[in-house]
Amino acid sequence: MTRTLLLALALGGCTAGGGDDTTDSDADTEVVDSDTTSVGPADTVTLSFSVSEGVRHSTQLVDPLMGELLGSIYRQADVSVTGPHDGVDSVADPHLDVVDLRDVDMSAETWTSGPLPPDTYLFLGFLDVDGNSGDGDSPDAGDPVTLATSNAFTIVEGKGVAAVV
């Protein structure tokens, strides 16, 4: 199991539920205010990286939580629980030489995309903690990986968003 934490950025005007249109929804209090939050260039996402406590304490994790970060970003609509649909291309391919999660819950290292069309996206990736991926892009035993349906974020036109994946 891997990190599913998501920093959700609500689209302006999006509200939880319907019906009670005269009261403020308490649900809004857990959503970052996209009207005031902007990170990085417009139409981009800045990713930080993390792992769950489950991963951190997993018996399958035999290497320090530090290594090369490899991943891809897809439109959410192009991904099912088993992964990207056949023939779908990623819109970006995050890569960092080193992400160090040994002593922190969230990486100091970040990756910022280029401009992306407004949409909801998923980050799929892994940390090559045993340093054996070479030029490949596949995790092997012991590499923390993301789940196919977690780590979503939404690009809001004119804003930069941040997500922890």
Which C-beta is closer to Ca ion: that of 139 or that of 160? 139
Q: Applying CB under 5 A, does 68 fall inside the site for Ca ion?
A: no
Bridge partners, 50 (sequence order): 106
Task: Compute the half-sphere exposure of residue 161: CA atoms within 13 Å on the CB side of its CA.
Answer: 30
Tokens of 4: 């599913």
Which C-beta is closer to Ca ion: that of 110 or that of 132? 132
**Residue pointed to by tokens 């403020």:** 24
Return all residues near 118 (Cβ < 8 A) that are at least 6 apart: 43, 154, 155, 156, 157
Q: Applying CB under 5 A, does 140 fall inside the site for Ca ion?
A: yes
* 17-36 residues near Ca ion, rule: CB under 5 A: none
For residue 95, the SS3 value is strand
Which range binds Ca ion by CB under 5 A, 1-9, 20-28, 100-108, 124-132?
124-132
Could you tell me how many residues of this chain bind Ca ion (CB under 5 A)?
Answer: 5
Out of 128, 151, 156, 160, the residue judged to bind Ca ion by CB under 5 A: 128
Binding site for Ca ion (CB under 5 A): 128, 130, 132, 140, 143
